[in-house]
Amino acid sequence: MNSRTLRIAVLALAGFGVFAIARLGYNLYGYSPAQALLSSVEGSATAGLSKESPLSFGPQGFYSRSSVIYVTAPKKEFGEALSASLQSLKGSGARLLHQKERNTEGTRFSVVQAELPEKSAEELLQRWKSQYEVLQFEENRSDRNTEYASLDARLESLQQTRTRITISPEQFKLSASSELGEEYAKLQTKKREFENARIVPPQQSLTAVFIARPGFGFAGLTDMILDALWWSIALFGALSILGLFAYLVLRLFQGGKDLLSWIGARLDPQDNG
């Protein structure tokens, strides 16, 4: 290996190291423990949970309301915090729908989904926000008035259809009455749900994800180092490909220039003479 090649190799290695260190510094500077915790559990925490929310009635009509909150507590206090939160849920008149506890990528978390009175849910959420660090909170409210209106219209239409069927031929009457009867019964059941919502306190769905906060450890540092190395490899790979492409284009132009010179020399009458 000659000295020129050695210098190029040393410079390339030094550049690789400088970029890797710079990327690692950027990772450390931009590191967010809260975001790292949220990213590690967000996908798996709510997988398989029900997306439906209880039907409620208020001054603006029928609606559904749901909330999702991610909170974190120190790892040593996680068990106590989770137990206290479950007791608070039960004391608020909640109906537990789902509960699971897992350990994903070294992060322990527990998920609870429940239905409870809207007022109790608001008080509970405010308490959790003051007691724990909130990583993410989302609340959705969907209007159900249009659904109720279309349900009422469909029931009226079915009733009129059933009246017309009574004067139809007997064979057609039996099959049509059976199909309409099933649909009518389902819609009546759905309408009773809307009517019941008028007389009970507004309810809402609440999904709470409790995460144990482990702090910054060896695993987090390892991930940052690997990220810095992969970024460096990707950068130098891209630069190498661009350099090779530029070299090939240069050689192509040089070859074309030499070819044109050769053709010109062959066609020059003075040279041929």
198 token code pair: 């008028």
Give a yes or no: residue 245 inside a domain. Answer: yes
Show the domain range for 116. Answer: 37-213
Do 12 and 108 sit in the same domain of this protein? no
Polymer length of the chain: 273
Residue ranges of the chain with per-residue pLDDT less than 50: 171, 272-273
- Tokens 């029931």 found at: 155
Residues 25 and 92 occupy one common structural domain: no
Q: Which residue has the tokens 């290996």?
A: 1
Same domain, 196 and 82: yes
User: 106 and 22 in one domain?
Assistant: no
Asked if the structure places residue 264 within a domain, the reply is no
Residues 172 and 57 in one domain: yes
| Cα distance between residue 120 and residue 116, in whole Å | 7
Q: What is the pLDDT of residue 48?
A: 76
pLDDT of residue 236: 73
> Does 11 lie in the same domain as 68?
no
Closest C-alpha among 12, 35, 55, 16 to residue 191: 55
Tokens of 167: 């004067």
Tally of domains within the chain:
2
Answer whether residue 137 is part of any domain.
Answer: yes
139 domain-assigned? yes
85 and 151 both lie in a single domain:
yes
Q: Which amino acid is at 223?
A: D
User: 86 and 114 share a domain?
Assistant: yes
Structure pTM?
0.64
Within a domain: 9: yes
Same domain, 15 and 88: no
Instruction: Give residues with Cβ within 8 angstroms of 33, minimum separation 6.
Output: 213, 215, 216
- Write the pLDDT tens digit of every residue in 130-170: 988 888 899 999 999 999 999 888 888 887 777 766 655 55
- Domain co-membership, 154 together with 192: yes
Residue 68 confidence (pLDDT): 93
Does a structural domain hold residue 273?
A: no
Residue 139 neighbours by CB under 8 Å, 6+ apart: 65, 66, 67, 68
User: Strands 95-104 and 107-117: what pairing?
Assistant: antiparallel
> Can you give the pLDDT at residue 212?
85
Helices (H), the chain: 3-29, 33-45, 78-91, 118-131, 145-165, 170-197, 218-267, 269-272
Q: 165 phi and psi, to 5 degrees?
A: -65, -30
Task: Please give the DSSP secondary-structure letter assigned to residue 92.
Answer: T
